[in-house]
Amino acid sequence: MKRTNLFKIAAALFMLNGWYSANAQNGQDPWIVEVTQAHFNMKNENGSYKEWKELEKEFHDKVIMKNEFIQGAEVLRHLYTPDNSEVLFVTAFKSWGDVEKADDRTTELIKAAWPDTSARRAFFTKQRAYYTNIHSDELYSTMDNPKFFKSYPDSNVVFVKRTTHTSWPEGGSRKEIMAMDKEYNENVTQKNDEILASYPLRHLYGSDSRDMVDFIAFKDVNTMENVSNVSNRKLIMAHWPDKTKRQEFFKKYNSYSEPWHGDAVYMNVVELHK
């Protein structure tokens, strides 16, 4: 089952839109991140989590890990989301050209890994049985100021997918929001050791052009809640001790996004990380 490029559309034009059109990934051009939301087939009575992971691990080792055009990958399973069948396949590429190259390379690697047609058909029939025919795809471009894992954890961690919607205040500017975002990131996100990683993304091609998504990793749910309620607040108070200046900063900072946000909580599958 190919998951590297499910639609070949000339979406590269969208890379010039939005606040953060360049200079992501610490000075490099933005990467492209594809998020495919698949759904487990809850009627697959003969399946098991153990077999599902073994099948995905085999595909991961033989295809994803050997595909030089895929820079990173995560598989995230439902933890606290509206749909307990959800599973996200998150894949990162350096460029739009690499998205298409990765798709062709995946085809080559599949044929090399399962050269016998019958064996290949049997493997993918068994793998596909774990999913419904329903899926959705979103393409994002990376934004400035990511926080990378110091070292990838050897046990499952919690990923929060936080979605916000962009807004543009009167008199606002790209320079201003980028400076404010950098200030917040350097003094809160990067200094908070309870935030293991943060990957901010901007809509590139998908259902809502306002979308900004941040995948944020925490050790566990308790740590996630502590960051929201305690540790981030301590860092905010330390950097902006003056109440008036703090309120002014966040009033302006928050004016660049709608008041609404949505959170979905997932658990990673360590064995399927690249």
Confidence (pTM): 0.88
170 and 243 co-located in one domain: yes
The reported pLDDT for the residue numbered 187 is 98
199 and 265 co-located in one domain: yes
pLDDT class for 244, splitting at 50, 70, 90? very high
130 within some domain: yes
54 and 99 co-located in one domain: yes
The reported pLDDT for the residue numbered 27 is 52
80 and 96 co-located in one domain: yes
- Segment among 21-30, 44-53, 87-96, 134-143 with least mean pLDDT: 21-30
Domain boundary among 117, 138, 159: 138
Mean pLDDT of 209-223: 96
Q: Which of 181, 140, 163, 138 is nearest to 260 (CA)?
A: 163
7 within some domain: no
73 and 152 co-located in one domain: no
157 and 129 co-located in one domain: no
The reported pLDDT for the residue numbered 47 is 92
CA angle 7–90–152, rounded 5-degree value: 155
90 and 48 co-located in one domain: yes
How many separate domains does the chain show? 2
258 within some domain: yes
185 within some domain: yes
What is the Cα Rg of the chain in Å?
A: 20
Kindly tell me if the per-residue pLDDT of 129 is higher than 70: yes
How does pLDDT run across 249-272, given as a tens digit for each residue? 999 999 999 999 999 999 999 999
Domain boundary among 138, 167, 191: 138
70 within some domain: yes
86 within some domain: yes
Q: What is the CATH number of the domain that holds 57?
A: 3.30.70.100
149 and 261 co-located in one domain: yes
The reported pLDDT for the residue numbered 198 is 98
119 and 154 co-located in one domain: no
115 and 38 co-located in one domain: yes
Give the integer Cα–Cα distance in Å for 76 and 216: 12
Kindly tell me if the per-residue pLDDT of 155 is higher than 70: yes
In percent, the amount of the chain with pLDDT more than 90 equals: 86
Mean pLDDT of 88-115: 97
How does pLDDT run across 8-48, given as a tens digit for each residue? 332 332 333 333 433 444 456 899 999 999 999 999 988 99
187 C-beta neighbours (distance < 10 Å), count: 15
Contact (Cβ atoms closer than 8 angstroms) between residue 34 and residue 81: no
23 and 134 co-located in one domain: yes
The reported pLDDT for the residue numbered 14 is 31
b/e map 121-156, b = 16+ CB within 10 Å: eebbeebeebbeeeeebbbbbbbbbbbeeeeeeeee
In percent, the amount of the chain with pLDDT more than 70 equals: 90
Mean pLDDT of 143-157: 95
Mean pLDDT of 188-205: 97
Q: Domain range for residue 240? A: 144-270
Q: What is the 3-state secondary structure (H, E, C) of the chain?
A: CCCCCCCCCCCHHHHHCCCCCCCHHHHCCCCEEEEEEEEECCCCCCCCHHHHHHHHHHHHHHHHCCCCCCCEEEEEEEEECCCCCEEEEEEEECCHHHHHHHHHHHHHHHHHHCCCHHHHHHHHHHHHCCECCCCEEEEEEECCCCECCCCCCCCCCEEEEEEEEECCCCCCCHHHHHHHHHHHHHHHHCCCCCCCEEEEEEEEECCCCCEEEEEEEECCHHHHHHHHHHHHHHHHHHHCCCHHHHHHHHHHHHCCEEEEEEEEEEEECHHHCC
200 and 221 co-located in one domain: yes
Domain boundary among 95, 123, 138: 138
CA angle 25–156–219, rounded 5-degree value: 70
Q: What is the mean pLDDT of the chain?
A: 90
98 within some domain: yes
11 within some domain: no
